[in-house]
Amino acid sequence: MTSPTPPLKLFRDEAQVETIKCLSCGGPIALHSFGARQRVVCPHCGSTLAPEDSGALTLLEAASRKHQPSVLPLHARGQLDGIEWEIIGICWRRCVVDGVAYPWQEFLLFNPWHGVRWLIYSNSDGHWQLGQALDGAPEILKQRHHGVRFDKQRYKHFQGAIAVVTYVEGEFTWEVHVDDKAEINDFVAPPLGLSIEQSSGPDGVELNFTVAHHIDAAEVWRAFQQPGKPPRTRGIGPLRPNHWHRGRRSMWLSCLVFVAAWWLLSDRLAATRHPTVAFQRDNISFDEPFAQEIKIGTPGETTAIEFTLAASPLDNAWAYADVLLVNLANDEAVGFGIEASYYHGIDGGESWHEGTSRTTHTVGGVAGGQYLLQIQPQRGGTGSTPTEYEVSVRQDVYLTRYSVLALTVILCFPLLAWLLGWLFERRRWNNSDYSS
Amino acid sequence: MQPSRTDAVSCPECGAPAPFRGTAVSLVCEYCGSTVVRTGVDLKLIGKVSALLDNGSPIVLGAKASVDKVPFEVVGRLQLRHGRGTWNEWFINFADGGVGWLSDAQGSYAITRPREKSIVAGKVPAYSGCALGQPIVVQGVPYVPVERRVASYQGAEGCLPFAAVPGDRYYSVDLRGHDGEFMTLDYGERPDHREPTLYMGRAVDLLAIGLHPLRKFAGWARGGPPA
């Protein structure tokens, strides 16, 4: 038996990078994708090279465009999502909406073990996304707002546009070409996004699904060790997370805890009060003003009082009283108006009623002592107007308004966050196909 | 059956060991590139297939991993060419005695196992009737055709379950589900029938399934990035 020749072992050896000369302009082209390429576009002149069946690169189309600087350079390396990536291809695309061009730059990121990703920079708003091919096909949802679902995540349609390739350089895993057109539909679930790209290929329609997430400009700049600061972001990108929604759950939860605490506390406070009747009088005539000296609370202490007005009979009629409480010790007065009314009728076959024959008015911070209670009554109406009224003054009542104020303060935090979050989303969606 | 069982036979062309694995029918000699076919107890030489292209795959023969807790080993590679370049179908032997394919196209990976043809026979459209983007329901699960291709064999290495003859054209459709399911309908050499060979499985991430060893690449930290 003859001794065999050494094994080929081609694919056990370390894969090597190489540099070739552009077959059009002669400039050096560094090949860093280890053969995972369908197109190579010379960074210097824009000529397109393609691999033959043998794998050797051949000139497909000569060009003589100028090199244009992108926001990140070809072959820059950076770590994103814990993985090291190298930019092996740059593709500029743009879409035109209502006569306005929206350009963006796509950086094809490569890692020999992790495949490829797309780092996308939007020139118009300065926001960044990191995308990769979807491991599946999204489900098209039949609902009012067009949407898709993949792997338990729902996405809402944001916009659709025709994207055109305007500039390319480097290596690509697909047959990229300037002027290539594709219909792109973007769906969002910030910070995630899903895009469906349709283009016509040799085999009919070609479909590409991409899932992406928002990435901060500062993080991209740090990852690729770029000098200075990244281009400023403007407005709200389609995938920028809504920070007002970030602590939404815990905010509502803590709000719930506060409300429960408030409920217990106000209940306890109310229980410490023992309201008593300071004054009561029935059957007062409407014919003349009423005046009487009454005693409220304990001198030297303040109290809260509840004044009640009731009139009868009250049938499609009203009773009103101007009430004045004059402190006999210092002539300071508390005045208020109080009205009781009751109306009812039948309108379009439906019976209705409104108002009540008994109304209360609460006054807090009343100094204890002797008061002169003065009442100027009025009455009117289309039905039976009241003939007499009654009043009562209860003292040491529990002032619910303060506890309601506390509740308002508790609730205003999540409500404010909800409002700001809503405004944020409205600004985001103003840039979509669904702007108001 | 042990998937790693090897028969002590030699390449009829150069005499080097021809390590047939499991139920493999053909083997590309690692030393001389000849394709050796096992017919019963005999070995037949069918000449050399065209060369494999280095398309940058990180997978190597002999790599091992587990999917759904079943260990497997990569024992062969079929490289296919279509209008838009090449991709690899790695032939894998499972520890449970089954076989499957690890499909490797531009950094996108899926593992499938052959399934009963009757699951889809007559229930799926012919090759040309599989419209991209229009779901086809198989066993209650919607699958979306995402790629149709007419491919030919570019090259092979290692063990394969059949003898790959370069140049023949094969029609196939790749379909994907809404939760990572993956399916290939292999129509063979004729596109005009509704009884494709069926492969079902799911998309995988090479590092997540722990495939090892992986190929080394100049300029990139050895052994791959930290998991």
Q: Average the pLDDT over A74-96 and give the result.
A: 95
| Cβ separation A137–B219 shorter than 8 A | no
Q: What is the pTM of this model?
A: 0.79
pLDDT tens digits for A52-79? 877 789 999 999 999 999 999 999 999 9
Q: ipTM value of the model? A: 0.87
pLDDT score recorded for residue A4: 42
pLDDT band (50, 70, 90) for residue B30: confident
Q: Which of B30, B59, B24 is nearest to B43 (CA)?
A: B24
Tell me: cis bond preceding A313? Omega within 30 of 0 counts: yes
| Domain match, A109 and A233 both | yes
Among the partner-chain residues A1, A36, A209, the one whose CB lies closest to the CB of B106 is: A36
Q: Which of A1, A18, A34, A174 should be substituted to probe chain B, the one whose Cβ sees the most B Cβ atoms within 10 Å?
A: A34
Which residues of chain B does A139 touch, with a Cβ-Cβ cutoff of 8 Å? Answer: 142, 178
| Residue A6 in this model has a pLDDT that exceeds 50 | no
Say which amino acid occupies B75: V
The minimal CB distance from B33 to the residues A8, A35, A55 is found for A8
Which residues fall within 8 angstroms of residue B182, CB to CB, at 6 or more apart?
A: A136, B103, B110, B111, B112, B174, B175, B176, B200, B201, B202, B203
Binning pLDDT at 50, 70 and 90, where does residue A204 land?
A: low
Q: How far is CA A429 from the centre of its chain?
A: 10
Give ∠ CA A174-A176-A182 in degrees, rounded to 5: 100
Q: A212 and A173 share a domain?
A: yes
Chain B residue at shortest CA distance from A139: B178
Residues with Cβ within 8 Å of residue B25, at least 6 apart in sequence: B37, B38, B160, B161, B162, B163
**Per-residue pLDDT reduced to its tens digit, A43-54:** 999 999 998 877
Report pLDDT digits (tens) over A166-175: 999 999 988 8
Over residues B56-111, the pLDDT tens digits come to 899 999 999 999 999 999 999 999 988 778 899 999 999 999 999 999 988 889 99
Is there a cis peptide before residue B226, judged by omega within 30 degrees of 0?
Answer: no
The answer to whether A51 contacts B177, with C-beta atoms less than 8 Å apart, is: no
Best of A37, A40, A52, A113 to disrupt the B interface (most B CBs within 10 Å) is A113
CA-to-CA separations, A381 to A284, A323, A339, B35, in angstroms, rounded: 19, 21, 13, 109
Q: Are residues A203 and A320 in the same domain?
A: no
Q: Angle B165-A203-B171 (CA atoms, 0-180°, nearest 5)?
A: 30
Mention every residue, 6+ apart, whose C-beta is less than 8 A from residue A349: none
Dist CA A224 CA A76 (whole Å): 7
Percent of chain A with pLDDT strictly greater than 70? 96
Domain identity same for A204 and A293: no
CA distance A248 to A254: 10
Q: Do A252 and A149 share a domain, yes or no?
A: no
In a domain, A5, yes or no: no
A400-429 helix and A248-272 helix, angle to the nearest 10 degrees = 170
- State how far the Cα of A133 lies from the Cα of A231, in Å rounded to an integer: 27
Is A178 domain-assigned? Answer: yes
Kindly state whether residues A318 and A362 are assigned to the same domain.
yes
Chain A hits for B31, Cβ within 8 Å: 4-8
Is A15's CB within 8 Å of B178's CB?
no
Do residues A373 and A280 lie in contact, with contact meaning Cβ atoms separated by under 8 Å? no
For residue A13, being part of any structural domain is answered with no
Residue length of chain B = 227
* A328 vs A407: which has the higher pLDDT: A328
The verdict on A412 and A367 lying in the same domain is: no
Structural domain includes residue A421: yes
Domain span at residue A184 reads 18-241
Between B132 and A119, name the one with better pLDDT: A119
More confident residue, B10 or A191: A191
Q: Express each pLDDT in B180-189 by its tens digit.
A: 999 999 999 9
Same domain, A164 and A256: no
